[in-house]
Structure 1
Amino acid sequence: MPVISFVNSKGGVGKSTLSVHVSRALQLKGFNVLLVDSDPQASALDWSEVAEGDYFTVIGLPNASIDKEIGKLKANYDYVVIDGAAKVNKNIIGTIKASDLVVLPVRPSPVDVWATRDTVDMITDRQEITGGWPVAGFLISVAEKGTKLSTEIGAALDDMPFDTFDQVIHKKAAYPNAMAQGQTALEISKEAKEEIDSLVNEIEEFFKDGN
């Protein structure tokens, strides 16, 4: 019962969008998915209300004991996906404790990578206690289509202790437009579906490899 979280104390990097779309892509593969909204802003819960529960189960756990609560729930699902809080607090610490894989979405800017240092420190502190768990990786998100990623973003990521996903998630109107209607971009945008499916394939390979 793998637990995947999307965590970054900086807002506007697409955590909720990614959480919803990765959950949907996993569901379309036949998995039973639980999406946990740990952010007090409750963007994923808001989407679920508009969607009228037509997709997968979404619950809110905006509290520091999220790891204990998920421990009780995860046996009932194939995957648990957590939409992380947007501020450095005990919610993020609990989310990291609950996770097998932490995905850190960042905009394609060195400044955005540097801004994750507090979160990175939380993860590495946890890894020191557990012998390397959870594993974490950066994901370049909200990238402008057709823009070549700068050498500066590559250098900033190379200085971090985690690998970076190969797939880049681009800024597309299909994501917010679909979510505002209680849908996902997977139903309305071929390009968005290809990106999310590619990311999910990377995530699945991570777990298939026994990490």
Structure 2
Amino acid sequence: MSTKTEKLSKVIALTNQKGGVSKTTTSINLAFGLSLRGYDVLLVDGDPQASALDWATVRDEAGIELDLTVIGVPKTNLAKEVAKLKANYDFVIIDGAGRQSELTRLAIVACDIAIVPNTTSPLDAWATKATLESINEIQSYRDFSSYFLLSGVKTKTKIFTEVKDWLAVTYPLPILDSVIELRTAYSRCLGEGLTIFEYKDDHGKKDKKAIDEVNALIDEILSRENIIKIEEAV
């Protein structure tokens, strides 16, 4: 846990009105990865489907300790609740709603950093337009960062390059260099109430490539946002 008295109070929203783009998977592993580094982290489930809360329940019932806080606020008071709570944490990670335009918008209203996960499906890329319209609207009166994250993808495919290039020329959001690949380990670990940092396959091996992906994502966010790492601040 962080020993600093003054918290960073950075709010990161994983947001996209299109479902099935790894918002919950990325939110959980991002939150856990930050907590491993000593940050105080709050994970907010802002989706009525409550997948992050379900994960936390599975973990709790299995008696697995969790060094971060998970709450559910899939309601119209999402932005107000986050504003009240963020002073107590270094990072608040919002797992945004899918197919819920108002809840998606509220997650963006609450955030300092909006991350828009996207697969390499052209249909998903087209469906991202509504989320980007909300980001553009809110950025017209409030300053915050926003990025694309390619997630649940296979990088060694032609479609990956095609969709990535299309996003780059079609929308103004920068694309993060970090990529979350499509890996069985991500879905299996969540089903067991674990994160990618803890999960082991049937042979007792961790997925080092997946762990490296999440750590690279954390490093890139900290770097792009000029956030001093805990070990650099002490």
What corresponds to 2:148 in structure 1?
A: 138
Q: AA paired with 2:135?
A: I
Q: Which runs of 5+ in 2 are unaligned?
A: 1-8, 199-205, 229-234
CA contact (8 A) 1:114 1:156 kept: no
Matched, 1:191 2:209: yes
Scaled by the length of structure 1, what TM-score is found?
0.93
Structure 2 residue 13 is matched with structure 1 residue 5: yes
Aligned residues: 208
Letter matched to residue 33 of structure 2: A
Contact 1:8/1:104 (8 A) holds in 2: yes
Which residues of structure 1 form unaligned runs of 5+? none
2:220 pairs with one of 202, 207, 211: 202
Q: Which residue of 2 aligns with 1:30?
A: 38
Amino acid at match of 1:41: Q
Work out whether residues 138 and 165 of structure 1, in 8 Å CA contact, stay in contact via their aligned partners in 2: yes
2:231 aligns to what? Answer: none
Mark the CA change 1:206 to 1:7 in structure 2 (over 3 Å): closer, same or farther.
same
Q: Does 184-193 or 195-204 show the bigger shift?
A: 184-193
Answer yes or no: is 1:110 the counterpart of 2:118: no
- Does the CA-based 8 Å contact 2:41-2:90 persist in structure 1? yes
CA distance in 1, matches of 2:163, 2:108: 28
Q: CA RMSD in A?
A: 1.5
Q: 2:133 aligns with which of 108, 113, 121?
A: 121
**Alignment partner of 2:189 out of 153, 168, 178:** 178
**Rg larger in structure:** 2
* Identity of matched residues, %: 38
CA shift, 1:114, in A, is 1.7
* Pairing of 1:143-154 with structure 2 (within 5 A): 143-144=153-154, 146-148=156-158, 149-154=160-165
Question: 2:51 maps to which residue?
Answer: 43
Measure the CA separation in 2 of the matches of 1:124 and 1:22: 25
Segment drifting more, 95-104 vs 81-90: 81-90
Distance 1:156 1:5 in 2: 20
Partner amino acid for 1:101? I
Q: What is the letter of the counterpart of residue 127 of structure 1? A: Q
